[in-house]
Chain A
């Protein structure tokens, strides 16, 4: 009986091990598949056009032609575009993260009249697609407030909590911080704002970083609003610049791919720096809902 049980246990262990090995193999293959498009774009950006059109295609460039990037930079004003994009993103990320934290804190910790109603308004707006309100907002910013050819229509909305989703996310995180910490600080004479800055903020740092990342990605991807609000080429962002560059150089794939790779870089860099927090925080966004 005892032997039999240990046999069952052993065979289960072995089966589990085999399953893990197979999973690992599939994961490695899938990781290659997922990364391969990025490699293909990168390798194209380092080749001459003659090399690109070779058949069968080369999987590695014969030499790494960094000069493609210099040539691209002559037409594709990457640094200017990057600076412009950051002019939108940096204030928006700061404003969004700060106001979302303030509002999330109020919803999580403070008692006030109309809380339920306000909170349901907030959650309800989470399901409202931002594309729906584009036209009235455009009229408000440009015709109502005269903000033509300006970044402000893309930045200012983030100073209103950065969207209901971010407020909700911060609130959910604050709910997991033990209330005893607040109470202990209150006894020590700390006010609401001190509690927020000294106790809550350090405890929810991963959530704040996720909010920052989400705002970053949203603005990074938002070609539509950038196209709509920006007119002059001095103010073009990476997304607009890249679209125009491709339109102008349709056939020159190596230069187009060099511009594409340059546009990949800042996001990847930002991600690598905060990677630990992003995953931790995003994991929690899923769990808290």
Chain B
């Protein structure tokens, strides 16, 4: 009775050692990536941000001078935080609402659903640079499509990308257009909402809005959370339109944080200073993510009532 048990135990521990070796072998790429591509560079950003480093000369320690300059003297920096947060706010809210509505419509019994889903996904696979350049023609002040359409309903010409008031919302609208992947994920979530809840509520006399408010939304909260997080991290890192189209202008109205960091590091050779911007950028995203995670406990509804 005792012997086979012992034997099997020994065999399992033997397999484990081999298994462990295999696991570490397979994980070598991830090890290297986590160390050299992720965590060391993050430490690097933090470290370099305390130096004055012009690229050619050797770095010189200057304490928190970079941070002092950022918060007291650099107007670009304040503008860049405003532009980035403003852009992310419109882009995230816009794409969440847009994709939830489209997903709910697609969730109805309609013909050729797969075909329509594919259409809404198409913008997502286009290269961002081409998308922004293409849209800049639609936004063109004198001959662009949008101003023609506005003229048709009696609205005067609008300078979309050439006005400091409208450039960020105009670019954010493109980001909403690009959010096809959120639709696909929302749609999958909607298909998992148990139909029986809706039927029960309908028999109890709940109208469409009440059912949306009290059944669809609560069941969808985990998916909403996931999409919100992904969309936030993506949109905070916006840089392509500034790089390919606006150069941060007009004024500093589209001076996104990543673009400002790029300018300091690669056009002005102020590497230490650019790292300070990177680090603050990291902190801002970390704070937003933390807020999402902390508040999520109170608004995410898990089935089974956990």
> Which residues of A pack against B, CB within 8 Å?
12, 16, 19-20, 23-24, 26-27, 30-31, 34-35, 37-38, 40-41, 44, 52-53, 55-57, 99, 102-103, 105-107, 110-113, 115, 118, 121-122, 125, 127-140, 157, 159-161, 163-164, 167, 192, 213, 217, 220-221, 223-224, 227-228, 238-239, 242-243, 246, 253, 256-257, 260, 263-264, 267-268, 270-271, 275, 278-279, 282-287, 289
Which listed residue (B42, B138, B266) contacts A133, Cβ 8 A?
A: B42
Contacts of A286 in B (CB 8 A): 184-186, 188-189, 223, 226-227
Q: Provide the B222-248 mask, 1 if CB < 8 A to any CB of A, else 0.
A: 110011010001001101100110000
**Contact in complex: A133, B124 (CB < 8 Å):** no
Q: How far is the CB of A136 from chain B (nearest CB, A)?
A: 3
Q: What are the 8 closest A-B residue pairs judged by CB atoms, nearest first?
A: A160-B33, A286-B185, A136-B44, A133-B41, A263-B130, A136-B41, A110-B23, A283-B188
Interface size on B, residues (CB 8 A): 92
Q: Indicate whether A57 sits within 8 Å of B23 (C-beta atoms), given known contacts A131-B258, A246-B244.
A: no
Assembly CA distance A166 to B278 (angstroms)? 24
How near does chain B come to A163, taking the closest CB pair, in angstroms? 8
Q: Are A111 and B45 CB-contacts (below 8 A) given A160-B37, A220-B127?
A: no
Query: For chain B, what secondary structure do more than half of its interface residues adopt (helix, strand, loop), or is it mixed?
Result: helix
Min CB distance A266 to B, Å, is 8
Task: Name 18 A/B residue pairs within 8 A (Cβ), A-sorted.
Answer: A12-B202, A27-B106, A112-B24, A133-B41, A135-B44, A136-B40, A136-B275, A220-B127, A238-B127, A239-B129, A242-B244, A253-B140, A257-B134, A260-B130, A267-B127, A279-B114, A286-B186, A287-B192
Taking the closest CB of chain A, its distance from the CB of B293, in whole angstroms, is 9
Q: Is the CB of A113 within 8 A of B20?
A: yes
Check B177 against A34 for contact (C-beta < 8 Å). yes
Complex CA–CA separation, A245 to B76 (angstroms): 28
Stretch at the interface among B1-9, B62-70, B115-123, B161-169: B115-123
